[in-house]
């Protein structure tokens, strides 16, 4: 059955292979715009995106016709090819073989948008490793799957 109305908000976090800081600031917006196009071309709506040197945050509303794993694979494969074809990093660019995908409540969208917008300032104070642990604890706390 066709789903006409939907609210499937997702927060994806992709990490570069071996957490190497190879997304250069001078190409950050170009990478973000390319990924925005991928999201839009797959029937989804992008709310916020920010590419840090070793990871990227993507907040979107996912179309019900595409599942998380398929969308993440399309984003990863297409953006890897774009970055490599355009030589936007030194050496070969790759994402890790897995990413994080967290469902988000509509009421939390504004706060998460602000969080993603302020990534540069945020990571001046906190490492990606610390952020990753906090995200897992935040998103997993209701299920009791806390990360130590």
3-state SS, residue 91: coil
Q: What pLDDT score does 74 carry?
A: 98
Mean pLDDT of the chain: 89
Q: What pLDDT score does 141 carry?
A: 59
- Domains, the chain, with CATH or none: 9-140 (3.30.70.1290)
Q: Quick one: 71 exposed, middle or buried, by C-beta within 10 A (0-12, 13-18, 19+)?
A: buried
- Residue 114 has a CB neighbour count (10 Å cut-off) of 10
Tokens of 41: 């071309």
Predicted TM-score of the model (pTM): 0.85
Of 147, 36, 16, which is closest to residue 89 (Cα–Cα)? 16
Higher pLDDT, 136 or 46: 46
Q: What pLDDT score does 49 carry?
A: 98
Tokens of 65: 């016709």
What does the pLDDT look like over 76-120, one tens digit per residue? 999 999 999 999 998 999 999 999 999 999 999 999 999 999 988
* Polymer length of the chain: 148
Give the pLDDT band of residue 143 (cuts 50, 70, 90). Answer: very low
Percent of the chain with pLDDT over 70: 92
3-state SS, residue 45: strand
Q: Would the pLDDT of 5 be above 80?
A: no
**DSSP letters along 10-29, please?**
EEEEEEBGGG---S-HHHHH
Q: What angle do CA 20, 13, 97 make, to 5 degrees?
A: 60
């Amino acid at each position: 059955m066709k789903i006409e109305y939907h609210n499937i908000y997702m927060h994806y976090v992709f990490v570069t292979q071996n957490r190497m800081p190879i997304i250069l600031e001078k190409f950050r917006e170009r990478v973000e715009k390319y990924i925005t196009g991928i999201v839009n071309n797959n029937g989804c709506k992008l709310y916020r995106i920010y590419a840090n040197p070793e990871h990227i945050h993507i907040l979107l509303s996912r179309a019900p016709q595409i599942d998380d794993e398929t969308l993440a694979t399309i984003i990863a494969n297409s953006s890897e090819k774009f970055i490599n074809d355009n030589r936007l990093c030194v050496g070969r660019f790759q994402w890790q073989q897995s990413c994080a995908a967290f469902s988000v409540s509509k009421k939390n969208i504004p706060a998460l948008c602000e969080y993603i917008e302020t990534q540069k300032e945020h990571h001046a104070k906190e490492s990606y490793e610390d952020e990753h642990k906090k995200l897992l604890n935040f998103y997993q706390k209701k299920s009791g799957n806390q990360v130590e």
